[in-house]
Each structure stands twice: as C-alpha cells, then as structure tokens.
A and B are shown apart, each in its own frame.
Chain A
C-alpha cells in the first residue's frame, strides 16, 4: 500500500515513534532504575516512577533563567523527535544522524544559555561527549553504505541477511559509543543519571520544572531511537520473526548498558575521548578494510 508515493509502513513507523516512543522510553527508564536498584541490593522505585517525576516537574513553578534556554530545549526535543521519525520511517540513516546531532547541539546551547558555571562546565563536557561518539557513528553510516549500497534504513531492514553479518566490528564499536550517547557510567561525564550533585548533574543544573521535564522526555525519545539503531543491525527480510529478533537484541544491549552503568566508575574526559577514537579507528578501520576486500 502506498500513500503520497511512500509505503504506508513509513507513516506507521513515524506515528508509532511519535506516540509509543516516549511510553517505551519511559518504561525503559523505569526499568533501568528498578534493575539498577536490584543490582545494588535495593527494592527501588516503581517502574512508573519516571512518569510521576515527569508529571511532577511539569507542575512545578516556572523559573527559567532566560527565554533562550527554553527555546533551545524545545528545539532539542523537536530535532530528536524528527531524527527518530526519519529513522523509523525507514528514511536515510545519514539524515537521521545529522538531525540527531543538531538536536544534541541545541542541548549544548541550552547549557551555555544559563551562564551558570556548572551548566557551562556540563555543556563543555557534552561537547567532548559529542566529539567522542561522532566518528564512530559516521563509520556506522559508511559501513552501512559499503555493505548494503544504500543509506536507506528501509532497504537495510528488508535485506537478505542482517547487517551485523557484514559489520560485526562496527556493531561492537557502536556498542562502545552507545554508552557515551546514553551518558551511562563510565561515560556519564556531562550529565550523570544517578548522582545528583551540581557538578556531575552538569548541563541540567540550571534546568528546572517544565524545562527539566522536556529534557527527560527527549531522553526517552533518544533511548528508543538509539536502541532502534542497534536493532537495525539484527533485522533482515522485513518479517515479524526478524523484528522480534531485532527487539530482543536491542533489549539485551539495553540490559548490558545497565550492567556497565552499575559496574564502572566515571572516567576522565581524556580517557573517554581517546578510547572512543581508538575504538572507532581500530574496530571501524578493520571492518571497513574487510568490506573493501570481501
């Protein structure tokens, strides 16, 4: 079936991400806190806790530092949503990556907008995070093109073999930078999820009430989109079985991230930047050389 010259599934994917994305993201965030608590020998909050936090923040007094900050946070949310919609519509992967980066840049601007030393420090650290993961993400796109001859997510999802067959090392590299993208320990340098003191809360220090709620919402969208990227590697043929496999792989990776988050202490930014670039160079490089000769 087609609508305006596009497959109906593109529109279904976009709508599903827009509506179901934050719900899934919220549940994942709750599950994260519950599992983390379990790993620390605690009972932990309810799975719905992030939703209650969100609603509470939405009802708090409005005390934004300045108008620009709110605008940047809104743009962050909008571009993350657009990037995710582009991905789940099965459109160009490069487009998705670039829109997502633009969203990340707006978050950095929002951090700088408050002129608070803590938020500025967080914004600077967020720039280092972006610098760390961006080369690997671009190598994912390059590898994807070399393996399948297209940047279209649609064609990759319906290819004969899952992409991981051609890009095992690049997949491993993406796993490495996923920890940076999700800002999980040991790479929660710009904005720690579990610790809440000023300097480690970084970029969100000056966000409060609705603004902070919007950042949380963007995180939910982001998480679902990144797990979508992971799932893309394990998807083939466009069938239901393959889709279930992709979802299971994405959830397994999510669990792995939580285990890593709970077992490693934060590293310095130098270690993050160096290790991420070495991973990109070695894993990405070897995989691309392999693709050239295969």
Chain B
C-alpha cells in the first residue's frame, strides 16, 4: 500500500448547479462525518490535491476552468464526479449551454457518485473507491516515471482528447442527442 491512499487531499469545484452537492461536500468535512479521519484535507490549491471533486453541471463557460484545474494537478490524480449534474447534466441537461455528458466532456472521470443532492456518505464512499485507483496510478508511476501522458492514455475514455479546445464547442452538442 502506498502513502497516497492514506493522505488523499481533495480539491473541489462547483459548476453550474443548485449548490446542493456543493454543500454536501462541505458537510463531509464537518464533525458529523469528519473526512479528515481518513487523512482527507480540503485544499483550494490544485497543485496540492490528489482528488478532484466536481459538483454541478459543466457548461461552456466553466469547462476551460475545470480543464485548467485538472491540468494543474500533479500525478497521481483522480477525478470524482459528484451528483447528477456532474455525472450527466442532471435537471439542467437540456439547457442550451450545459454539456449533457457532464464532467467527462472535459476531463477523464474515474468515479461517478449518483444522487441529487449526493449524500456525504456516498462522497466518502467514492473517495475511498477512488483511493484504489490512485494506488494503481501511483504504482504505474513508480514503474515508468518518464511516461508523461499516462493519465490521458490510461483513462481510456478518449473524451478528453476529442474535446481538445472546449472554447470551440459551446454547448458541446446538447442538441444533437435530444
């Protein structure tokens, strides 16, 4: 077991949403749930974070921000999409500017947490599940530290690569699905 699983530092971004999930993420840090028991620290700094928690929907305006936060994080890192909106647009899915695929329209997602809003218990569950993935990535890094593009290749979603410049695709085709 490597040390990354014992010290998962989290960065949290709230996209366009009702802020319900946003509040639940913070609830996970309160005395009742106390995520710090597991070494979780809520950082505001992508360079210090291991787990990227996205709540709320992704739209044309916040997509570049989400991508930038993700790019600034250092390997090994994972992404957890929390709540219906982050997983797939939620109730906002058919809005003209909301990307119906949710977070994976911009960055590769490792874990999806259902719920509207998500329960703090499920968030902690997802972080714990994500820890196994972090572990795997840390091992791969140890084996082959020179491999720069490991996340994008490993993630296997291909979504990240296909939306190279999110500025060029406003609304990312919410119309063509519906």
Find chain B residues with CB under 8 A from A45 CB. Answer: 36-39
Asked if residues A44 and B48 are in contact (CB atoms below 8 Å), the reply is: no
Interface 0/1 of B1-16, CB less than 8 Å to A:
0111011010000000
Which residues of A sit under 8 angstroms from B44, Cβ to Cβ?
A: 196-198, 201
Q: How far is the CB of B65 from chain A (nearest CB, A)?
A: 14
Given the known A-B contacts A37-B36, A40-B31, A52-B3, are A198 and B138 also in contact in the complex, defined by CB atoms under 8 Å? no
CA distance A51 to B171 in the complex (A): 45
Residues on the B chain within 8 Å of A59, using CB: 2-4, 138, 141-142
- Please pick, from A46, A52, A55, A208, the residue contacting B48 in the complex, using a CB distance under 8 A: A208
B145 to A, closest residue via Cβ: A61
Tell whether B101 is near chain A: CB-to-CB under 8 Å: no
- Interface status of B45 (Cβ within 8 A of chain A): yes
Q: How far is it, in angstroms, between the C-alpha of A201 and the C-alpha of B74 when the chains are bound?
A: 18
**Given known A45-B36, A45-B37, contact A209–B74 (CB-CB < 8 A):** yes
Q: Taking A49-B7, A52-B3, A196-B48 as contacts, is the C-beta distance between A41 and B31 under 8 angstroms?
A: yes
Cα–Cα, bound, A40→B29 (Å): 12
The answer for the CA separation of A42 and B48 in the assembled complex, in Å, is 23
Complex Cα–Cα for A197 and B12 (A): 11
Contact B36 A42 (CB under 8 A): yes
| Inter-chain contact B75/A61, CB cutoff 8 Å | yes
A40 CA to B36 CA, complexed, in Å: 12
Q: How far is the CB of A31 from chain B (nearest CB, A)?
A: 14
Distance in Å: Cβ of A183 to nearest Cβ of chain B = 17
Question: Per-residue CB proximity of B77-113 to A under 8 Å, as 1/0?
Answer: 0000000000000000000000000000000000000
Residue of A nearest to B134 (CB): A56
Does B41 interact with chain A (Cβ within 8 Å)? yes
Complex A-B, nearest 9 residue pairs according to Cβ-Cβ distance, in ascending order = A197-B44, A55-B3, A208-B47, A61-B75, A52-B6, A196-B43, A61-B74, A56-B3, A56-B7
* B contact residues vs A (CB 8 Å cutoff): 2-4, 6-7, 9, 31, 34, 36-39, 41-45, 47-48, 50, 74-76, 138, 141-142
Residues of A whose CB lies within 8 Å of any CB of B are 33, 37, 40-46, 49, 52-53, 55-56, 58-61, 63, 196-198, 201, 205-209, 212
